Amino acid sequence: MALRVQDLKVHYRTLRGDVHALDGVTFSVADGEIMGLVGESGSGKTTLGKSLIRMDSRMRHVGGTVTLDGTELPIGDTEAMNAFRFSDVSIVPQYAMSAMNPTRRIGKMVRELVESRKIRFSSVRDELNRRLDLVGLDRGVLDRYPLELSGGMKQRMVMVISTLLNPSLLIADEVTSALDVSTQRAVALALAGFRDHDLVRSMIVITHDVSLVYQIADTITVMYAGRLAESAPTDTLVSTPRHPYTQLLISALPEVGVRYGGKRLTGIAGSPPTLLDPPSGCRFRARCPLAFDRCAEQPPFVEIADNHRVACWKAV
């Protein structure tokens, strides 16, 4: 079992109190698995990704554990996590477009980065070239400045850098949302290629777009207001979702081929609850068409079929 997250709670400190951005999240990612993590803005998906590698100063680890390959990660301790970053856990950040140092040629920047980990650059040089080929980048990009690359090229370059030390876990946060459709396909497939070539053991792909992770992920996990709503193998989640939120989310997607005239789609009324003082019970209750008395009590996240977990009283 590559990654196991147990009842993870992370809060943001604000002047008005703690924001319960992650409120008891439990899941695991198997070896070789690509997990798609889907949610709306403010659902806590980016917070989850950041918690696994580097918490910013406003984030506080309140409870729960993260175990990677049998070792517990000291996620609340920024200094101690340094031993794991890049080599065991790595991230392709949101807006990776601006993640590279604009004043260095890319090759030099990679050298400095690798050497900061006490690894000789010459020992990874061949591997670096191989991976540039893998994602379809010319080796000449190492002599160029980030400014000279297009968005899709930069995104692929950051992917190559992030995975250079063969991490056990790669977190890819909205890596394609700033790209054009045709580039998006190439970048997403390159990402899956890292797993296929065994360069990255497992991967969490964070996105707001279900149809994107449908293309590359083995399992999909849906987050809502700081908690997991549903998690299942990709085809199961898309064809037979059990949580009302997942069902509504999927039915609200306009598809190529669906026309407003033929089938008018509907959104989900209302908006997610504020996490400053989250309501008790099921957090989707206020927007849920199926809500009943029992929803005042928080539904457990339970397995209802093989690898299919749902947090809803109606699905149990």
Partner 1 sequence: MLRLTGVSKTYRTGAFGRGTTDAVRDVSFEVRPGEVTSLIGESGSGKSTIGRMVLRLTRPTSGTVTFEGTDVARLSGAGLKEYYRHVQGVFQDPFSTYNPIFRADRVFAMIRQSYFPRVRDDEWRERVAEAVASVNLNPDLVLGKYPHQLSGGQLQRLLVARALLLDLRLLVADEIISMLDASTRIDVLNLLADLKERGLAVLFVTHDLSLGNYLSDQTVILRHGAVVERGATEKVFGDPRHPYTRTLLASVPRLGTRWEDLPVPSSGIHECATPLDEVEEGHFVACFDTDGVHHGRKSESV
Please state the closest distance from residue 151 (CB atom) to partner 1, in A: 8
Nearer to partner 1, 253 or 316 (CB): 253
Please state the closest distance from residue 268 (CB atom) to partner 1, in A: 4
Please state the closest distance from residue 270 (CB atom) to partner 1, in A: 9
Q: Which residues of 199-216 are buried (b: 16+ CB within 10 A; e: fewer)?
A: bbbbbbbbbeebebbbeb
Pairing of strands 3-14, 17-29: antiparallel
> Can you give the binding site for partner 1, defined by CB under 8 A?
40-41, 151, 180-182, 184-185, 188-189, 208-212, 214-215, 238, 248-250, 252-260, 264-268, 271
| CA–CA distance, 112 with 123 (Å, rounded to integer) | 13
Half-sphere exposure of 26 (CA within 13 A, CB side): 11
| CA–CA distance, 24 with 61 (Å, rounded to integer) | 11
| CA–CA distance, 22 with 204 (Å, rounded to integer) | 16
Please state the closest distance from residue 237 (CB atom) to partner 1, in A: 10
* Phi, psi dihedrals of residue 17, rounded to the nearest 5°: 125, -175
Q: How far is CA 223 from CA 23, 215, 272, in A?
A: 11, 19, 11
| CA–CA distance, 243 with 197 (Å, rounded to integer) | 34
Please state the closest distance from residue 5 (CB atom) to partner 1, in A: 24
Nearer to partner 1, 124 or 238 (CB): 238
Nearer to partner 1, 118 or 259 (CB): 259
| CA–CA distance, 234 with 175 (Å, rounded to integer) | 19
**DSSP string over 72-88:** E--TT-HHHHTTTBTTT
Nearer to partner 1, 72 or 180 (CB): 180
Contact yes or no for 222/237 (Cβ under 8 A): yes
Please state the closest distance from residue 119 (CB atom) to partner 1, in A: 35
Nearer to partner 1, 121 or 214 (CB): 214
| CA–CA distance, 265 with 271 (Å, rounded to integer) | 18
Q: What is the DSSP letter of 2?
A: -
Nearer to partner 1, 31 or 180 (CB): 180
Please state the closest distance from residue 165 (CB atom) to partner 1, in A: 29
Nearer to partner 1, 120 or 263 (CB): 263
Please state the closest distance from residue 214 (CB atom) to partner 1, in A: 5
Nearer to partner 1, 83 or 252 (CB): 252
Half-sphere exposure of 185 (CA within 13 A, CB side): 2
Nearer to partner 1, 118 or 264 (CB): 264
Please state the closest distance from residue 41 (CB atom) to partner 1, in A: 6
Q: In what order do the strands lie in the sheet with 71-72?
A: 17-29, 3-14, 59-68, 71-72
